[in-house]
Structure 1
């Protein structure tokens, strides 16, 4: 029997960084159980195989071929029974990228964690306000503009169908993040997914770099983004701005100061009732997931939004 391949394809903001960090920290230990998490294809400063995903996203198939070949070679040299590839960037691939993976990996198992759409978009907004990437500036627009630009990401049925049209619905393992995010249940769940004991990934420290700041701190950072984006040249890229951002995210004194700012002075970074209802109506198509695939968890989490409260980013 050949080596099995498991593709963990996201979504973003469903504990992917924690899973990738745990896989990295546990790499040698889980190797003894026949599972290998390749070192090749991992972007610098991260623990996920984002380099492979971005190569496919950019249409750089020569680079993608080299990266995947290195990953396969590693796994064969380790006598792995299963190779695990993890990057939430796979969820952004089009049909061409998905088909490219299928032609080279064949009957891979596709694991995807999905999250309540309102929670997902609010968490994604918080992250984009907080972080920039080489491909994207920090978000400085309105919440409404963000929603209009990203609402389609809540169509989980379209996302899963894109993978199922190539690999087949039976290859998809759809899991509901909302039922796993508390109580430290995510890593045991993923360990079970890859055929390991419940505690196989538990000794790895949970990575918290993607944890969202509080709502008031996020509001303040959005204000800074707007000020910075309106500044000429590199005025807004000084050390002073960097220090101020860091203080907003980590200083208890700054947090107390921020709490004194009247809420009406700063735009809310959470969706209002009307926006939540729009997301819910859009996401209703996700009910069809249960008709086509096995879903581990309640599908209601994936389309009921308006009643959601007390969200954690």
Structure 2
């Protein structure tokens, strides 16, 4: 019997976290049907978030570095991996970190004995970059403006696609567009494309929400002040879920949108692959440092951060809370 491994390789900001949480929640059902969503290759240490524990980020990160060190890592992991999946006809591995793998041949070596299939979701270029930018502001201490971020994003779609052809028997490239996805969501789409024996009707909300508007501006300020901490993610998620102005795309003028899209070949290639693609008009997005809502939004935001002393006690944040700062535009 031919055994297969399904590699869900991203890309990030295409509902990956929600999908990984779903697969983890249905591990028992998958096992009964001869599938395996293994623990091997996942970081299960107590310090990791539930979201990180649900994905094979450990395996993906292990594939980055000097070849001899990567091979040693994989050789050390392989016995436990093979033991865990010994009764499965299909193994599912999921991490958006696979998009950064440096040694695909070593990954193929690690998966020797399996037929490799890849599934990947691709986004319209500007929506992808903007979402990635908001995620970096939210999830790290990065404090650079969007234009600089886009200039250094370095996404060249053919260069990403080509290497997977050398190790995968089949590659399924999907457009991350609700109008194109099965039942309008990535979980149902993945379940269908991968042929999984699961009912995706009970899908958990993705807790890794993109932030926008004045919440994005607030986190930008925290990053500039060196106040980033992983613990800030929970209150930001809560705010984004509760307030529409704090989630979704952020505002960008039409001229900038046209210029950024024209300077990258991604959308042209996506059209060759999928036909017409939708391009969101970011002029309808939430303004960052929106002066009309700034004072109101800062009060709402700061109520969620009062427990973080380093944030609440900083003089600049205290001034924001008192409404003493003059609103302006995010630096471009």
What TM-score comes out, normalization by structure 1 length? 0.74
State how 1:276-295 maps to structure 2 within 5 Å: 276-284=257-265, 287-288=268-269
Shift of 1:289: 6.1
2:61 to 54, 59, 62: 54
1:72 to 72, 82, 100: 82
Shift of 1:288: 4.3
SS of structure 2 residue aligned to 1:113: strand
Two-structure CA RMSD over aligned residues (Å): 3.3
2:218 to 214, 217, 220: 220
Q: In the alignment, what sits opposite 1:129?
A: 137
State how 1:237-256 maps to structure 2 within 5 Å: 250=238
1:120 to 114, 122, 128: 128
Please tell me whether the aligned partners of residues 157 and 286 of structure 1 are also in contact (alpha carbons under 8 angstroms): no
Please tell me whether the aligned partners of residues 75 and 110 of structure 2 are also in contact (alpha carbons under 8 angstroms): no
- What per-residue deviation string (whole Å, max 9, x for no partner) do you get for residues 96-122 of structure 1? x11211233353001111111111111
Higher relative contact order (CA 8 A, sep 6+): 1
Quick one: distance in 2 between partners of 1:147 and 1:248? 23
CA distance change for structure 1 residues 242 and 100 in 2, over 3 Å: closer, same or farther?
Answer: closer
Shift of 1:143: 1.3
Residue 149 (str. 1) matches residue 152 (str. 2): yes
- What per-residue deviation string (whole Å, max 9, x for no partner) do you get for residues 136-156 of structure 1? xx2201111111111x22x22
SS of structure 2 residue aligned to 1:108: strand
SS of structure 2 residue aligned to 1:70: helix
Shift of 1:87: 0.4
Quick one: distance in 2 between partners of 1:242 and 1:163? 36
Quick one: distance in 2 between partners of 1:200 and 1:255? 30
Please tell me whether the aligned partners of residues 9 and 110 of structure 1 are also in contact (alpha carbons under 8 angstroms): yes
Residue 12 (str. 1) matches residue 15 (str. 2): no
SS of structure 2 residue aligned to 1:193: helix
Moved more, 31-40 or 174-183: 174-183
- What per-residue deviation string (whole Å, max 9, x for no partner) do you get for residues 239-282 of structure 1? xx977x86666459x979x99xxxxxxxx954433442243224
Quick one: distance in 2 between partners of 1:52 and 1:281? 36
SS of structure 1 residue aligned to 2:258: helix
Shift of 1:237: 6.7
Please tell me whether the aligned partners of residues 30 and 200 of structure 1 are also in contact (alpha carbons under 8 angstroms): no
Segments of structure 2 that go 5 or more residues without pairing to the other structure are 287-332
Count matched residues: 270
State how 1:151-230 maps to structure 2 within 5 Å: 152-153=154-155, 155-164=156-165, 166-167=166-167, 171-179=170-178, 185-197=185-197, 199-206=198-205, 208-226=206-224, 228-229=225-226
Shift of 1:65: 2.7
What TM-score comes out, normalization by structure 2 length? 0.70
SS of structure 1 residue aligned to 2:265: helix
Q: In the alignment, what sits opposite 1:264?
A: none
The structure whose Rg is larger is: 2
Shift of 1:222: 0.8
Quick one: distance in 1 between partners of 2:145 and 2:92? 38
